[in-house]
């Protein structure tokens, strides 16, 4: 309890769980990780430090961070046989399809870290998942572009390592641009955890049966892929590119308001935020900074800004309290860094693995934890007797 919040958010009866990791106030647009505001973490911390915070509840001391960071670094390689697993996918497979399959396959590799009742094994599984996601994500990208896999380098930071595995080629070293590395790390921080969203709830529900932790994360990846959830970052940039020029914005706003049209403004609206998503505010500022520093003039950013202005003035969006969410600006930055849109949700999954793993640990170690078992309101027929086929 802190003096800032009234503890009862008004939905105690429908809450799916108790959790101390992330606090969201959707009306005020507040997002805290273990009490720290997301904008302070995004501007001052690092993704690995936020990972430690979410897993352990406190910001690490220098020595605690070094020990944690070394342990993660030394788990970044994947079993060599996993690279053969990739060969089974078509080259044009969506990288998220590859992530679902490959991360699920990890559950067949690491039998020494699947006894969920053993704290040491839980810690090893957690560190392996956080450490290997960048390697697998980079492999998914390399496989899709037909380039050889690049091994991790322990001399690089977590985010630099990911960029090097993604963009380095045997013919020449990838020169890590600090602007890009800093923007990437900030994006990872902003996607790390977000309370009981659909994919986190999926991981918790799968984990509540005692399932293999690697398989639980694969379930979370599958859920995140949907365009209503993490898949919205890919859909939002595709939408902004389809709009093309600001003069076409009213046509798309009209479609989004038309109940008979399934089209929605991608990157807008949220189940919880009825105010600005604080992550969108940080990303909006970062989009301008990163494109300016990289000397990129992408008309998509102007279209995004104009769309935001027009939508926020539109009575439909005002009445329904629809604001830009985390997925609205992230794609502009990811595209400037050089990622294809098909990799956007993979990057979301890479970052959210920290939150999924932290939430899984919190659930698994809760003594009151039982298997998840949502109930339903039955709407089918009342009891009736069977009629043999010959009499029907």
Task: Enumerate binding residues for ligand SDX (CB under 6 A).
Answer: 194, 197, 228-230, 232, 256, 264-272, 320, 322, 325-327
State phi, psi for 227 to the nearest 5 degrees. Answer: -65, -15
**Contact 340/331 with Cβ under 8 angstroms?**
no
Report the residue number, 165 or 189, with the smaller CB distance to ligand SDX: 189
270 is catalytic: yes
Closest by Cα among 326, 323, 324, 322 to 348: 326
**Contact 47/189 with Cβ under 8 angstroms?**
yes
Minimum CB–partner distance for residue 112 and ligand SDX (Å): 31
Report the residue number, 28 or 77, with the smaller CB distance to ligand SDX: 28
Report the residue number, 102 or 265, with the smaller CB distance to ligand SDX: 265
Catalytic residue among 270, 277, 292, 314: 270
Report the residue number, 203 or 301, with the smaller CB distance to ligand SDX: 203
Report the residue number, 122 or 279, with the smaller CB distance to ligand SDX: 279
By Cβ distance, which residue is nearest to ligand SDX? 269
Minimum CB–partner distance for residue 273 and ligand SDX (Å): 8
327 is catalytic: yes
**Contact 153/168 with Cβ under 8 angstroms?**
no
- The Cα–Cα gap between 280 and 190 comes to 9
Strand 22-25 with 36-37, pairing: unpaired
Looking from the CA of 88 toward its CB, the CA atoms found within 13 Å total 11
What would the two tokens of residue 130 be? 């956080």
22: CB partners within 8 A, 6+ apart = 31, 32, 33, 34, 54, 193, 194, 195, 355
Catalytic residue among 298, 327, 366, 385: 327
Residues annotated catalytic, as ranges: 270, 327
């Amino acid at each position: 309890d802190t003096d800032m919040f009234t503890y009862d958010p008004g939905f105690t009866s429908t809450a799916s769980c108790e959790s101390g990791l992330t606090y969201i106030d959707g009306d005020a647009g507040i997002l805290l990780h273990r009490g720290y505001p997301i904008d302070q973490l995004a501007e001052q911390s690092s993704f690995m430090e936020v990972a430690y915070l979410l897993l352990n509840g406190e910001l690490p001391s220098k020595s605690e961070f070094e020990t944690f960071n070394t342990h993660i670094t030394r788990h970044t390689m994947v079993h060599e046989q996993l690279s053969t697993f990739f060969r089974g996918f078509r080259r044009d497979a969506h990288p998220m399809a590859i992530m679902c399959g490959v991360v699920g396959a990890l559950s067949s590799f690491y039998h020494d870290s699947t006894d969920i009742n053993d704290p040491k094994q839980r810690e090893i599984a957690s560190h392996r998942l956080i450490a290997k996601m960048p390697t697998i994500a980079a492999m998914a990208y390399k496989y899709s572009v037909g380039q050889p896999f690049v091994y991790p380098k322990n001399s690089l930071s977590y985010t630099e390592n990911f960029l090097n595995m993604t963009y380095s080629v045997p013919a020449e070293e990838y020169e890590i641009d600090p602007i890009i590395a800093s923007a990437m790390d900030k994006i990872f921080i902003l996607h790390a955890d977000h309370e009981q969203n659909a994919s986190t709830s999926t991981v918790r529900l799968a984990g509540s049966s005692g399932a293999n932790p690697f398989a639980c994360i694969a379930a979370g990846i599958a859920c995140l892929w949907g365009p209503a959830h993490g898949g919205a970052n890919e859909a939002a940039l595709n939408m902004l590119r389809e709009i093309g020029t600001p003069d076409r914005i009213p046509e798309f706003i009209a479609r989004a308001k038309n109940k008979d049209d399934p089209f929605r403004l991608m990157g807008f609206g949220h189940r919880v935020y009825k105010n600005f998503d604080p992550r969108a505010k940080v990303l909006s500022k970062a989009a301008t900074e990163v494109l300016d520093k990289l000397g990129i003039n992408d008309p998509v950013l102007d279209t995004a800004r104009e769309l935001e202005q027009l939508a926020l003035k539109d009575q439909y969006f005002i009445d329904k309290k629809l604001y830009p969410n985390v997925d609205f600006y992230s794609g502009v930055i990811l595209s400037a860094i050089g990622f294809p849109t098909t990799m956007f949700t993979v990057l979301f999954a890479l970052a959210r693995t920290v939150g999924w793993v932290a939430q899984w640990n919190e659930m698994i170690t809760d003594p009151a934890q039982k298997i998840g078992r949502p109930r339903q309101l039955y709407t089918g027929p009342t009891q009736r007797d069977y009629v043999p086929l010959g009499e029907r």
